[in-house]
Structure 1
Amino acid sequence: MPSHRALLPRSTPAASGVSSRAVAALLDRLEERSVECHSIMVVRHGHVVAEGWWAPYSAGRPHLLYSVTKSFTSVAVGLAIADGLLSLDDRVVDVLPDHVPAGVSAQARRLTVHHLLSMTAGYRTDSLGEAWRLEPGDLVKGFLRIPFTDPEGTRHTYDNATTYVLARMVERVTGLGLPELLDERLFEPMGVDHAEWDRVASGAAFGFHGLHLTTEAVAAFAELLLRGGVRGDRRLVPAAWIELATRRHADPLPPADGPGDADFLDGYGYQFWTSPHGFHGVGSFGQQFVVAPSHDLVVVLTGAHHQEQGVLDAIWECLLPGLDRADSAGDDEKLAERLRGLSFAPVPGAAEPGRPVEARLDACAEGSPLPEGSTVAADPVDGGWLLRLGASLVVEAGHGGWRESAPLGRPVVASAAWQGDTFVADVYVITTPHRVRLVVDAVARTAVAAWNIVPLTGPSLEVHVRSPLMTRPDVA
């Protein structure tokens, strides 16, 4: 596991004008609403005042950010514009002429960097899947081939493909891959040395998804934005770009089946969401950073849930009222102790060290992490088991605790136990929100495996424990 390197100074809640009881109330609200969090960090006046990880997640471990990645791609666009290599009015067809399909429409020819950043190209649904279907080997060309439903610039539709195209435009004008550009201009100067990227089959970074960073690295990024792009005595991002990118450029429409979430209807900037309190970045299943400039506040959370608006509501309702209030040193220590003790429980049950088990995976539901009919086995070893999952995966699992292994390059953390004649294991793909529960009936010799949340890049467990993850660009 990467060692943890402090990127931000620390302070007590009281010293930074944050009520530790308000932070505790935020944790209480998340627990009451069954919001599964993996980490939380609260930064006030530039200092980390509260931080915690739900074991087996930990401070030094990068976490998949899903669409929070888009905000980093926005910064890459801003850097290219500041360098005079790109402009908001530059057209896709001019920057990427070798990706323009024959007979391209007049509207596709008019699409600019501004339309991509604001997701106002003119589609009514996310174009990613259709672009991939039309051009499996060239997502940019597929994007430009899809018929438009609305004039460009008139309608906001959340559209992953627009960010993919932006990433390719940045790479074309800078001559650097997106990861290499951000390493050189952003991450290395910030002190971040463990940015990881998932990639499409060609080897290119997704751009709209796939960045893995530690919670503190995301907090340091958000803090950099709050400080107008300056870290220490060095400017890393132009202040003018941050102001422009985090300003409303499009008005999201409410969903057809309801009123929608308030903070996601306030406005959309250039790959950032706006809100009455500032701006935020959001990735699927609970990856979030919040910047509230008027409160000099940054909050970062990772997790595995579908309650992003509920988390924002909890921040506004529980945390904001506790700003510019100081509780006692005893309250601060009580909160720190609670944060140190955050944990998911290892699988409860017995070790039965002399009892192996082997079974065949029963009829699989859609989204199964293993193919139907796969053989699974648990062979006892000192303090746990070797789990054999299908033909190629061997994972170490601990009893009463967690054991880490990396069967195909990506770390996996697992625990297991016997519960009567049932063997149960939890297998965390620990740099992501995702885990698999394996349940084996030792009498019937059948097994069931299921994701907590099926990854957007497909259900195969084997794909998601390879490093780097490489897949076709079909994230929804």
Structure 2
Amino acid sequence: MILHNENRLPRTAPEQQGIASAGLLRFIEALDSQIHELHSVMLLRYGAVVAEAWWSPYAAERPHLLFSLSKSFTATAVGLAIDEGYFTLDDPVTSFFPAETPLVVSEFLAAMQVKHLLTMATGHASDPWTAMNERLDGNWIKAFLAYPIATAPGSQFVYNTGATYLLSAIIQATTGMRLSAYLDPRLFAPLGIEQMHWQESPQGITLGGIGLSLTTEAVAKFGQLYLHKGLWNKQRILSEAWVDQATALQITNGDDPDSDWAQGYGYQFWRCRHGSYRGDGVFGQYCIVLPAQDAVLAITAGIDVLAMQQPLDLVWQLLLPIMGTSSLAADPVAQRALTEKLASLGFSTVAGQASSPLAELVSGRSYQVAANRLGLERIQLHFSAAGCRLLVHTATSVETLVCGYGVWQAGATALFQQAFFGHTPFVASGAWTNEASFIMQVRLYETPFVYGLTLDFIDTELLIEIRINTALDSLAPVVLTAQQLSG
């Protein structure tokens, strides 16, 4: 039986789509046991969802920050705009930005075209993204166009988030609409995608290369659109020619046969092994399209950047072999086991005690924090039978983190400042792990990030260690010292 609901993909038993529930269970169990910090997974076969899971407290209705998986959506907007006649692949990049173009235009900059932005073959030796973010006047376009170009555009692949931002800026310059607004009636609305947020630059331009937040099902729908060559419910959304070009090998990017980052690059899509391709975001955001198997796999996560090959390896090793071409006999026992496993996935709350003899003594105390790069100035804790409330004073605000004992307590905070985040929803859990140590875990559940705070009380001092599950730079903990204030 195929289950339908408005704006939702149909759901079926795996066997109806040629997949044994027992084999799918082994794949899910491998993901759960081997991949640290997986947040969601959704598998489509022949257009129907055959398995879906969210590791609680992550949930189906909650969007997730996709990082560079955003790039594939930006490329989709470029394809639509080209088909609508706004510009072409061969247009010079400088032609769109006369006010931001340097007075002296190098030969390489003059030769840079839209297609070079799409294939990350701009000629830059490194990504201009950091220089763009650090530009004092906030004009990221000027920063990109002023960045040194080392080789002729089109000659080599260098990963370039700045290039995708320029694509977003071109969409805005030519259509008069921000990228997100341009895509809304052309992509998101036809696919029934209602929850969408895309961060913007200081110039008021959609980031393009990062910053898009969508639900897992929205990501799966996007993959299904590409799998069906731009058709959605028999409606032409995107030209078949663009889908073919965007997902084909446009430029080589390595020669490692075992790496899914060295199989070639299209227009903001990565080529994969086994004839597949994907949109891909750091920390484990994937939209994997498997044309030969008529399947799509959407994943969100918060995994380490060095472990991003591992989920793909499990797809090739455990998922591909169980995809048959014909429906299978129903297997209610195996299907029940799979359903129970999918429903049981989740992250445990912090283990420990809900109280300590020290709790009443330190509750209400204020601590002055020694100078630190996080800008934290003063901390106050309040312990009760229900949980802990942590007040953190900075120079400009007071942030409150509330955690429950044995439960996830919801809130929102700007304390953990990631670029462009602002106030971010979270859930938190805490416990006393010994008489003088309290641990709090804070999950920013619309992002890949999880923070762990260990608070050690030593007489009138407080030692605070802050850890994060994954990052592009150092994972070394931040250690803060604080002294009790009198009165």
TM-score under structure 2 normalisation?
0.86
In structure 2, C-alpha distance between the alignment counterparts of 1:380 and 1:6, rounded to whole Å: 44
Deviation at 1:245, TM superposition (A): 0.5
In structure 1, C-alpha distance between the alignment counterparts of 2:85 and 2:380, rounded to whole Å: 58
Query: Which moved further from structure 2: 171-180 or 29-38?
Result: 29-38
3-state secondary structure, aligned to 2:74: helix
CA deviation map 1:258-310 (0-9, x unaligned) = x5852111110000011232210110101111001110010111111122211
Match of 1:99 in 2: 100
Match of 2:464 in 1: 447
Does the Cα contact within 8 Å between 1:438 and 1:448 map onto a contact in 2?
Answer: yes
In structure 2, C-alpha distance between the alignment counterparts of 1:250 and 1:185, rounded to whole Å: 28
Q: Aligned pair 1:343/2:349, yes or no? A: no
Does the Cα contact within 8 Å between 2:139 and 2:203 map onto a contact in 1?
Answer: no
Equivalent pairs counted in the alignment come to 447
In structure 1, C-alpha distance between the alignment counterparts of 2:77 and 2:315, rounded to whole Å: 29
Q: Which amino acid in 2 is paired with 1:400?
A: G
Q: Which amino acid in 2 is paired with 1:295?
A: Q
Match of 2:51 in 1: 50
Match of 1:474 in 2: none
3-state secondary structure, aligned to 1:396: strand
Match of 2:417 in 1: none
CA deviation map 1:167-221 (0-9, x unaligned) = 0001111111011111121111211111012222233221000000000100011
Does the Cα contact within 8 Å between 1:104 and 1:145 map onto a contact in 2?
Answer: no
Larger Rg: 2
Matches within 5 A, 1:33-48: 33-48=34-49
3-state secondary structure, aligned to 1:200: coil
Match of 1:285 in 2: 283
Does the Cα contact within 8 Å between 1:116 and 1:162 map onto a contact in 2?
Answer: yes
Does the Cα contact within 8 Å between 1:383 and 1:398 map onto a contact in 2?
Answer: yes
Deviation at 1:406, TM superposition (A): 2.3
Deviation at 1:394, TM superposition (A): 0.6
3-state secondary structure, aligned to 1:169: helix
Partner of residue 404 from structure 2, selected from 392, 398, 407 = 398
In structure 1, C-alpha distance between the alignment counterparts of 2:428 and 2:472, rounded to whole Å: 18
Match of 1:422 in 2: 437
TM-score under structure 1 normalisation?
0.88
Match of 1:388 in 2: 391
In structure 2, C-alpha distance between the alignment counterparts of 1:407 and 1:149, rounded to whole Å: 42
Does the Cα contact within 8 Å between 1:12 and 1:49 map onto a contact in 2?
Answer: yes
In structure 2, C-alpha distance between the alignment counterparts of 1:38 and 1:196, rounded to whole Å: 19
Match of 2:425 in 1: 411
Cα distance change on mapping 1:159 and 1:439 into 2, 3 Å: same
CA deviation map 1:308-332 (0-9, x unaligned) = 2111111011001111174722111
Partner of residue 269 from structure 2, selected from 266, 269, 272 = 272
Q: Aligned pair 1:211/2:208, yes or no? A: no
3-state secondary structure, aligned to 1:406: strand
Match of 2:184 in 1: 183
In structure 1, C-alpha distance between the alignment counterparts of 2:241 and 2:114, rounded to whole Å: 17
In structure 2, C-alpha distance between the alignment counterparts of 1:379 and 1:317, rounded to whole Å: 50
Deviation at 1:376, TM superposition (A): 2.9
Deviation at 1:377, TM superposition (A): 3.3
CA deviation map 1:58-100 (0-9, x unaligned) = 1100000000000000000011001011110111111222221
Match of 1:333 in 2: 336
Q: Which amino acid in 1 is paired with 2:263?
A: D
Match of 1:319 in 2: 319
Cα distance change on mapping 1:438 and 1:360 into 2, 3 Å: farther
In structure 2, C-alpha distance between the alignment counterparts of 1:64 and 1:214, rounded to whole Å: 9
Q: Aligned pair 1:436/2:451, yes or no? A: yes
Matches within 5 A, 1:148-167: 148-167=149-168
Partner of residue 263 from structure 1, selected from 240, 260, 265 = 260
In structure 1, C-alpha distance between the alignment counterparts of 2:165 and 2:39, rounded to whole Å: 27
Deviation at 1:6, TM superposition (A): 5.2
CA deviation map 1:96-134 (0-9, x unaligned) = 222211112121112111111011111222222234456
Deviation at 1:382, TM superposition (A): 5.5
Q: Which amino acid in 2 is paired with 1:13?
A: P
Deviation at 1:143, TM superposition (A): 1.7
Q: Which runs of 5+ in 1 are unaligned?
A: 462-476
Cα distance change on mapping 1:261 and 1:195 into 2, 3 Å: farther
Q: Which amino acid in 2 is paired with 1:308?
A: M
Q: Which runs of 5+ in 2 are unaligned?
A: 415-422, 479-487
Cα distance change on mapping 1:95 and 1:168 into 2, 3 Å: same
Could you say what the CA RMSD is over the residues aligned between the two structures, in angstroms? Answer: 2.4
In structure 1, C-alpha distance between the alignment counterparts of 2:444 and 2:334, rounded to whole Å: 35
Match of 1:310 in 2: 310
Does the Cα contact within 8 Å between 1:7 and 1:220 map onto a contact in 2?
Answer: no
3-state secondary structure, aligned to 1:220: helix
Q: Which amino acid in 2 is paired with 1:286?
A: G
Deviation at 1:150, TM superposition (A): 1.4
Does the Cα contact within 8 Å between 2:254 and 2:263 map onto a contact in 1?
Answer: no
Deviation at 1:19, TM superposition (A): 2.0
Query: Which moved further from structure 2: 201-210 or 386-395?
Result: 386-395
Does the Cα contact within 8 Å between 1:411 and 1:430 map onto a contact in 2?
Answer: yes
In structure 1, C-alpha distance between the alignment counterparts of 2:7 and 2:355, rounded to whole Å: 42
3-state secondary structure, aligned to 1:164: helix
3-state secondary structure, aligned to 1:172: helix
In structure 2, C-alpha distance between the alignment counterparts of 1:322 and 1:328, rounded to whole Å: 15
Cα distance change on mapping 1:30 and 1:357 into 2, 3 Å: farther
Deviation at 1:455, TM superposition (A): 6.7
3-state secondary structure, aligned to 2:279: strand
CA deviation map 1:140-168 (0-9, x unaligned) = 22222222221111101111111010100
Q: Which amino acid in 2 is paired with 1:415?
A: S
In structure 2, C-alpha distance between the alignment counterparts of 1:330 and 1:93, rounded to whole Å: 62
Does the Cα contact within 8 Å between 1:361 and 1:374 map onto a contact in 2?
Answer: yes
In structure 1, C-alpha distance between the alignment counterparts of 2:252 and 2:391, rounded to whole Å: 50
Q: Which amino acid in 1 is paired with 2:351?
A: P
3-state secondary structure, aligned to 1:442: strand
3-state secondary structure, aligned to 2:141: helix
Deviation at 1:5, TM superposition (A): 7.7
Does the Cα contact within 8 Å between 2:35 and 2:311 map onto a contact in 1?
Answer: no
